[in-house]
Amino acid sequence: MSSPISERGYARPDVLVSTEWVAEHLHNPNIRMIESNEDPLLYPSKHIPGAVQVDWTLDLNDPIRRDYLKKASFEALMSRIGVTPETMVVFYGDKNNWWATYAYWVFQLFGHGNAKVMDGGRAKWEKEGRPMDRIVPQYPATAYNAPDRDDAHIRAFRDAVLRHVEAGGPLVDVRSPAEYSGEKLHMPEYPQEGALRGGHIPGAKNVPWSRAVNPDDGTFKSAEELRQIYEGEQGLEPDGDIIAYCRIGERSSHTWFVLTHLLGYPNVRNYDGSWTEWGNLVDVPIEK
C-alpha cells in the first residue's frame, strides 16, 4: 500500500489529491472533477458523481489539422463544463491516469494552473467501492477568458527535436521496449500502424511511462523511487533540457507530469508529434 502523498518527497505534492480527499470534496461547487479516458465508453457507463467528461479526441484536438484546440475552442470547452479561471479542476481516468495527465498537460498550454490529478485514477476509486453513477451533470455556462496557447515552454516541435538530437540533448522514450527497439510500431495489444518505420530517436533513453506507478493500485511511486529510475538507472540530470516522447504524446505527458511536478525538473518538454511524426519523416535519423 502506498504511503500518503505528503510523505513521498515530491517537489509539488499539491498537484496530487487522494481518493479520500475527492470523496470529502464531491459536493464542493468550486471543484470540478474531470474524467479523461482512452475508452470513451467508460464515462457513460459510470463515473464519479458530478464529474464531467473531457474526450481527448473530440474536446482537446483540432478537428481538421493535427494540433490541439485553439484559444476560442478551449474557452468554449471551459464554459460548457462550467469552469472559471478560479475553479479547481481535478483530473482522473483509466490506464493509471495516462489520459488524465494528457488532458492536464493540454490545460497547462492555456495556463489553467489550478489543476490536480487524483492519485490512482479511476481504477483505484472503483476498487475501493466508492460511489459512481450515470448522471451526466449540467453546470451553468461560464465566461472563461484564456490566454493564448503557450507552445514555447512545455511543448516541443520536430525542428526543435532535431536540433536537440544534433546537440546531444537528453530524450526520454516512454514507450514499451518493443516499440523502442523497432520490433513494434505500437504497444503489443494494439494495431501495429501509424508509422512507416520502427525504432527510436537517436540517443533517447527508454523508460516506459508505467514504471512511474505502483502496479498494485496505480498510485505514483515515491520521489526516491522515481529518482532511482530516472537518475540512478538512466543518468538524467534534473537541470537538463529534457524532451519526452511516445507515439502520439499521451504517454509522454504522464512522464512530463512526473518529471516536472513530482521530481521538480524545471526544463521538460513533451514532443506530442512523437513517433507517428518522427517515424514518417523524410531524412531524419532513427536508431533500432
Query: Known catalytic residues?
Result: 246
Nearest to 120 by CA among 203, 241, 5, 239: 5
Q: What is the enclosing helix (H) or strand (E) of 279?
A: none
Distances (CA, A) of 279 to 157, 185, 200, 235, 284: 14, 9, 8, 26, 9
Q: How many CB atoms within 10 Å of residue 232?
A: 12
C-alpha 240/C-alpha 195 separation (Å) is 29
What residues are paired with 155 via a beta bridge? 270
> Helix, strand, coil proportions of the chain in percent (round to 5)?
35, 15, 55
3-state secondary structure of 183: coil
Residue 17: beta bridge partners?
A: 118
| 21: Cβ contacts below 8 Å, ≥ 6 apart | none
Residue 63 C-alpha cell reads as 478537428
**What span, in angstroms and rounded, lies between the C-alpha atoms of 237 and 92?**
29
Buried b (16+ CB within 10 A) or exposed e, 242-275: bbbbbbbbbbbbbbbbbbbbbbebeebbbbbbbb
Q: What is the dihedral of CA 280, 273, 52, 21, to 10 degrees?
A: 130
Strand partners, 89: 32, 115
